[in-house]
Amino acid sequence: MVLDINEIMKLLPHRYPFLLVDRIDLLEPGVRIVGTKNVTVNEPFFQGHFPGHPIMPGVLIIEAMAQVGGVFAIISDKIGPDKVTYFVGIDNARFRKPVLPGDVLRMELEIINCRRGLYCFKGRAFVGETLVTEADLKATFADRNDS
């Protein structure tokens, strides 16, 4: 299953400048997902991180992986628009190499388990074949409170 940006925007509530997934390249419901972020010099965070030496902040790489995981859970378990995603944990995060403008960030997440609505993923991010970031991520869903 491949999803373009328009299909991703139907699933995730995030929008520019915080939507950090451009495409879902592979989805095996209940098993794994692969998503892509094209990193451009026009990203707003590069203005301050760092002037003259732009590097994508590690927390945003983690957020991009979490968004890919959200797509996985929404599709795998048919979670509707009446729910909101809560990112509830990050463990074992490691930042191996910087992500720079012009890089294509490929995020691969595999489901470790899902118990009582708590999704646990092993996430890895690559530029080409180089591992740049890895982390264990946890997320859950709750009723949307649109009051």
Q: Cβ distance 23 to 3 under 8 Å? A: yes
Q: Cβ distance 67 to 12 under 8 Å? A: yes
Strands laid side by side in the 83-95 sheet: 23-28, 32-38, 104-115, 118-127, 130-143, 83-95
Any catalytic annotation for residue 14?
no
The torsion angles phi and psi of 47, rounded to 5 degrees, stand at: -60, -35
Q: Cβ distance 118 to 136 under 8 Å? A: no
Which of 49, 83, 122, 138 is the catalytic position?
Answer: 49
Q: Mind telling me the catalytic residues?
A: 49
